[in-house]
């Protein structure tokens, strides 16, 4: 960062100036609701663009967008710097996002996995193949080491096959019968060994209508799984 940007960043966090003089707290909140936090920093606080760039990813884990798409009012509610001098009264203003409204009860349940939704996927895998993802709760999933060698074990009720491209899915059975009453055959072609395998798939995920490129294929053996291999379930 340039020396000016460093000085502006320090000034921003220590700012105790009312940048919207002559307005009531309600009027200030309404005005903040109609400008982005990026605009607030640029037009009112007048910080160096590098400061805006530095703060841009701060709320992406919550909103999925940068501060150019987050209102200044929401940024205030999320305790972003630069608002102390406005002396805003507690409580939400008009149009304030629900996630940015301070809520002590909600804080008890507010939890972010450090890797985002990847931990959710590992929790799903643990429920299907417990021995592949050691642990017992949402806390230990963060540091749990996945045993990839146990994902695709013969005899298990659920098997996850990585690096497999689905090139054909064919029903084995009476097409007019209940979907739950017959098996489906899946041919795969990617890496070795390649060739068809058979199982009862409950869900097959595809990227588009023309092709199925499943990063993981989960099948269920018709005869059930071996002890310790997890519940009978299938998704892909």
Domain boundaries of the chain, sorted by first residue: 3-107, 118-220
pLDDT at 105 over 90: no
CA 175 – CA 189 distance, rounded (Å) = 25
- State the burial class of residue 203 (Cβ atoms within 10 Å of its Cβ: 0-12, 13-18, 19+): exposed
pLDDT per residue as tens digits for the range 148-188: 999 988 888 888 878 777 677 666 666 666 555 445 556 55
Give 175 or 225, the one with higher predicted confidence.
175
DSSP 137: S
Task: Give percent of the chain above pLDDT 90.
Answer: 48
Query: H or E segment at 168?
Result: strand 166-172
pLDDT for the residue numbered 157: 82
Q: Which of 75, 80, 102, 72 is nearest to 90 (CA)?
A: 102
Residue for token pair 């068809």: 196
Asked if 123 contacts 114 with a C-beta cutoff of 8 angstroms, the reply is no
Give 202 or 196, the one with higher predicted confidence.
196
Segment 68-83 shows an average pLDDT of 96
pLDDT for the residue numbered 12: 97
> How would residue 107 be classed by pLDDT, with cut points 50, 70 and 90?
low
pLDDT for the residue numbered 210: 47
**How many CB atoms are located within 10 Å of the residue 128 CB?**
25
pLDDT at 222 over 70: no
**Secondary structure (DSSP) of 176-197:** TS-GGGSEEEEEE-SSSS-EEE
CA 87 – CA 82 distance, rounded (Å) = 11
pLDDT for the residue numbered 152: 87
> How would residue 207 be classed by pLDDT, with cut points 50, 70 and 90?
low
Asked if 98 contacts 113 with a C-beta cutoff of 8 angstroms, the reply is no
> How would residue 194 be classed by pLDDT, with cut points 50, 70 and 90?
low
The structure's pTM equals 0.52
CB contact set of 126 (below 8 Å; sequence gap of 6+): 132, 133, 135, 141, 144
Give 106 or 28, the one with higher predicted confidence.
28
> How would residue 1 be classed by pLDDT, with cut points 50, 70 and 90?
very high
pLDDT per residue as tens digits for the range 19-44: 999 999 999 999 999 999 999 999 99
Fold topology of 3-107: Guanine Nucleotide Dissociation Inhibitor; domain 1 (1.10.405)
CB contact set of 175 (below 8 Å; sequence gap of 6+): none
Q: Which of 116, 122, 117 is nearest to 148 (CA)?
A: 122
Asked if 88 contacts 19 with a C-beta cutoff of 8 angstroms, the reply is no
Task: List beta partners, residue 216.
Answer: 162
Give 125 or 183, the one with higher predicted confidence.
125
Task: List beta partners, residue 187.
Answer: 168, 196
């Amino acid at each position: 960062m340039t020396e000016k940007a460093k000085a502006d960043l320090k000034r921003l966090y220590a700012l105790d100036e009312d940048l919207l003089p002559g307005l009531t707290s309600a009027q200030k909140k309404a005005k903040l609701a109609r400008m982005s936090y990026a605009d607030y920093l640029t037009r009112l606080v007048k910080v160096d663009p590098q400061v805006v760039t530095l703060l841009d990813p701060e709320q992406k884990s919550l909103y999925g967008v940068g501060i150019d798409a987050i209102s200044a009012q929401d940024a205030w509610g999320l305790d972003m710097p630069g608002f102390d001098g406005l002396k805003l009264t507690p409580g939400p203003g008009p149009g304030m996002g629900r996630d940015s409204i301070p809520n002590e009860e909600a804080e008890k349940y507010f939890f972010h996995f450090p890797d985002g939704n990847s931990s959710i996927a590992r929790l799903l895998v643990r429920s299907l193949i417990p021995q592949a993802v050691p642990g017992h709760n949402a806390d230990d999933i963060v540091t749990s080491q996945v045993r990839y060698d146990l994902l695709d074990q013969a005899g298990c009720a659920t098997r996850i096959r990585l690096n497999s491209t689905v090139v054909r899915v064919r029903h084995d059975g009476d097409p007019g019968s209940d979907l739950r009453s017959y098996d489906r055959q899946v041919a795969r072609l990617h890496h070795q060994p390649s060739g068809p395998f058979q199982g009862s798939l409950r869900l097959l995920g595809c990227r588009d209508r023309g092709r199925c490129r499943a990063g993981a294929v989960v099948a269920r053996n018709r005869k059930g799984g071996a002890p310790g291999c997890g519940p009978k379930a299938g998704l892909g």
